[in-house]
Structures are given as C-alpha cells and as structure tokens.
Structure 1
C-alpha cells in the first residue's frame, strides 16, 4: 500500500485530496498543525467510509514537528511514496507591492516557501526509499510570471495577492531546481494549481473542491512516463494543463 503525506490537510483542498486518495487505496497521513482537530477529522472520515487515514501533527514553520512527523512515518512505514506540499496561507489582504511591509512578506514566505523546503528536505530520506517517489507542490496560476505580466490574461488586473503570488513564484523556482537535481532518478516532481476553488481561502467562491482534488491527484500518481519539473493549471490551459513559469 502506497503512503502519502499531505500537509495542511485538515480542511479544504488538502482534506478533499486525502479523501480521494483514501478511496484509491493509499494510506494517508493527514498533516495538521492541531493534532486534536486532525484526530477528530480522521475519526470522522473513518466512520464515513474513508479507510487508512491517520492524523499526524506537522507545522511547516516548526522544524521540531516536521522531524517528529518524519520519525513517526519512518517507524511505521519505513518510507514515503508521495509528498503533497499543500499547506499555505494568503497573508494579510489586500497586498500592495508598494506599501506592504517586508515582515508581512516573511510571514507568508515562512509557510509557502520555507515550509516547503523544510518538509521536502526532511522527508527526502524516506522518499528516496520508495520505488516511484512523487512530490506535488500545490501552487497557483497567479504565481506564473508569464501569465501575471500578460495584459491579456484575465487575472492581469487582479493585484490583490502581491505577497501570496510572490511566495508561490519562489516555490515554483524551488520545484524547478528540485526536479533538476533529481532528474536522473525515479522522482516525478511538479507544481500544480488546483484552480480557484470554494474553500475558506476564497471565501467559498470558485469551483468545486472535488475537481481541485482530482487535479492534484493526477500528478501525484503519474507513472514513470509522466512529466517532471513542470507547472500545471488545467483551469488556465484545459488542452494540455501545462502553463509557463
């Protein structure tokens, strides 16, 4: 049975992704900053027909919780097949590039960028033991420099997320370098935008969470002929899914 860790999985897209992967027969580690909330959700899921889900405490800004989660999974599984770096925050709104302080940037980068680095590096030893290791970094199309600088793009004038978009653009570059360094291995590493989705993050505006989960899972389960080092947003490019950085 393949195992997967999803950070920030106690609600929204992360939770939906966990539910869908559970139905596909994977063992899910439901990453949650609050282990009591995580345990309650895992229990509820189990009672409603979602097997093999276990809550695990992990705060991507706190290295001690990351190490503890890694040690627990190593003891129980010995390896990790899939890492989905889903935890993220938007930060204070609105976000003005001229007026928002560097401290506010740091708060968001600490989760969206540094958190991904912390978790990925900590779990690399377990991922390298898997036969077909996969990493999905949950991104956003507003993190694309090419799209955001295109006056013809529908979201060109949507300058609300200067900090959030910058943090995801940085994470995208990390994805490129990570995929490059592991290009001669069995790893497949991609950045995936789940689309504008009805969650707390968007005040429950946008598309259905089920579709967002499917988009992430598609790249978490790619075979050895699948892509690596790519950026996907099926909402922005329904034909192939791939978008420019």
Structure 2
C-alpha cells in the first residue's frame, strides 16, 4: 500500500542546513500497521508529514497503492492518505463548530456540504450527532481526538497517518482512542503508519516497528520482538530500557 524509496528531507542552506530525514526506504503492506519510534527530533514526524503531503521539501519517491505521488498533489492523491495530529486542542479551529470542521475536508475535495455524512462520521467514532453543533472548547481531549479521527476518515482514505495520537491524552482515555482506531482499521481495512515514542502503544497497535535515530532507521522489530522486549541495535535496546523504567515509575 505504501512504498518509499530514498526519502530525504533537509531544511535551510549552507552552515544552517539541517538534515532531518536521511535517505530512508521502506514499504507497508495493505492492512498493516507500521510503527515508527525514536526520540524527539529524530525525524519521524517530518517523515509522516512528507507522506501526508504537508511537507514539500523532500526528495526521493513515494507510492500509495501503486500510484506514485509527488510533492504537489491533486485532490485524488490527497484522498489516499489522511493524518491525525498529536494535539487534539490545536488541530481544531476554536471558533468553528464541530460540524463545520468535519465538513471542511469534503468542501476542499469538491464535495457538496453533506450534513448526513458529517453526522454519520460522528456516530462512527462514538459521538452523538448533536456534537456537530458544539464548539471544540465544549469537548474533552478524548472527544476532540475522536473528532479529529472522524475528520481524517470522512474522505474514506485507505491510509491513515497517526502522529502521536494519544500522547496528549490522559492515560484513562488513551486506551479508548487506541481501541477506536483499531476498530476502524479492521472495519475499513485501513493501512496505518503510527509515529510514537511510547513503546507500549506501539506494541499494542503495530505489526512491525522501525526504530529511527538521527533521520535514519537503525532497527526493524516484529510484533514478537516487541512483546519479548528484543532489539537488535544498541540504540533500540536503550529505548526499550528507558520505556521499561518509565513504566515502573508510573506504576
């Protein structure tokens, strides 16, 4: 469903040039959930934004469902992959009602303002239809993230790109949102790319994980590796150890 070859992203010029993603290549099968983990600043979110068409400064090649996509994309190409962002508070316009936020992708892609489609999108993520008339400040963080998921799915993309989708939520709400995502993936036969620093989230959601450091991949782990805490690279083992210590401190 996704194929990436020699993706490279750098910002700035000369001495101020910052090389963020360094010549990475990978593939994601149809229906697979691929995780990408690494420390903050390693390039994983920039990689995701490049896939989504939000970052135009990349070089290399990207294919979705056998179709090569470029830096500038038409409507049909943009429909192939939609993104759920980390911050449920910052990703919704504070002065727009929820119904307006959900209708925005439809309008951007040339569809008519379909009220019933908006209400159905809310119900599909477990929210009442009357939430369409509410403003973002009237919703909890978990409810806002459900709206963000509904907005990403309203165009029926085959690919969902998830940038730390639960890191800004309370622990009690994280499992609900992850289960919602898993249910939608199974019902719609979606392909996920999930960026996270939380190995527990990755182990729960992902079939396979790529470990990123300084803009490149240093390890690839299977679901069995994650469950057993096995890593092949020294940096990946450090991530496992740090994650384990955080779990002990939080328990």
Bucket of the pairwise TM-score, normalised by the shorter protein: 0.3 to 0.5
Greater share of residues in strand: 2
Q: Whose radius of gyration is greater, 1 or 2?
A: 2
TM-score normalised over the length of structure 1: 0.34
